Amino acid sequence: MNQYETFLEDILIDENTLRQRIRELGEEISADYQGKQLMLVCILRGGVLFLTDLMRALTLPHTIDFMAVSSYGTGARESSRQVRITLDLQMSVEGRDVLLVEDIIDSGHTIASVLELLRTRNPSSLKVCTLLDKFERREAEVPIDYSGFKIPNKFVFGYGLDLDEYYRNLPFVGVVKPDKYVPPD
């Protein structure tokens, strides 16, 4: 596996900036959910680093649970794309104040499908918190309640986001130099 330095165009969001913004989000969410039954739902796998840092920035008692999804339907059907649940929640969302925690919202199809599904299970409330918002690429309309950073339409990696499943561990969000990145076999 290549070292990331060979294809890192630049660091878009460094470690300190991430830490600071996540602390702010934590304060905002803690204030908004005072006295409520907050349940964080993380969509695997990209949201994991954000989830664990966000949890530590919250001053409210809360529970966590996980979902995994995979998209199907590509090409001409892309704009009506639905996602398939590959791992469902362990806990019931009924009567809970559910906050979805995502790494990035790109076209918006993933989060739109998850919202549609969870709404049928009667949570008390259902909101969205994303670290990154690639707003120029939006196809599905998604209400975003908490957003860390709006980012340009560039492919990014690190801090949970992968390049062919690698490099999720990097402490910053970096931009890929496409002509320098070689996918693994």
Catalytic residue of the set 53, 97, 106, 133: 106
Q: Which of residues 21-60 bind ligand IMP (CB under 6 A)?
A: 46
| Segment near ligand IMP (CB under 6 A); pick from 12-20, 54-62, 89-97, 154-162 | 154-162
| Segment near ligand IMP (CB under 6 A); pick from 8-16, 33-41, 87-95, 155-163 | 155-163
Binding site for Mg ion (CB under 5 A): 46, 103
Q: Which residue reads 């998604």 in tokens?
A: 142
| Among 53, 97, 103, 133, interactor with ligand IMP by CB under 6 A | 103
Task: Examine residue 108 and tell whether it contacts ligand IMP (CB under 6 A).
Answer: yes
Q: Which of residues 1-20 bind ligand IMP (CB under 6 A)?
A: none
Phi, psi (rounded to 5 degrees) for 134: -90, 70
Task: Examine residue 174 and tell whether it contacts ligand IMP (CB under 6 A).
Answer: no
**Nearest approach, Cβ of 44 to ligand IMP (angstroms)?**
9
**Nearest approach, Cβ of 46 to ligand IMP (angstroms)?**
4
Task: Examine residue 104 and tell whether it contacts ligand IMP (CB under 6 A).
Answer: yes
Are 174 and 10 in contact by the 8 Å Cβ rule? The answer is yes
The number of residues that bind ligand IMP (CB under 6 A) is 15
What Rg do the C-alpha atoms of the chain give, in angstroms?
17
Of residues 8 and 156, the one with the C-beta less far from Mg ion:
156
Are 112 and 169 in contact by the 8 Å Cβ rule? The answer is no
**CA-to-CA distance for 105 and 111, rounded, in angstroms?**
7
| Among 100, 128, 161, 170, interactor with ligand IMP by CB under 6 A | 161
Nearest C-alpha neighbor of 104 from the set 164, 170, 151, 56: 151
3-state secondary structure of 163: strand
For residue 70, give the H/E element and its range: strand 62-72
Q: Is 145 a catalytic residue?
A: no
**CA-to-CA distance for 46 and 102, rounded, in angstroms?**
7
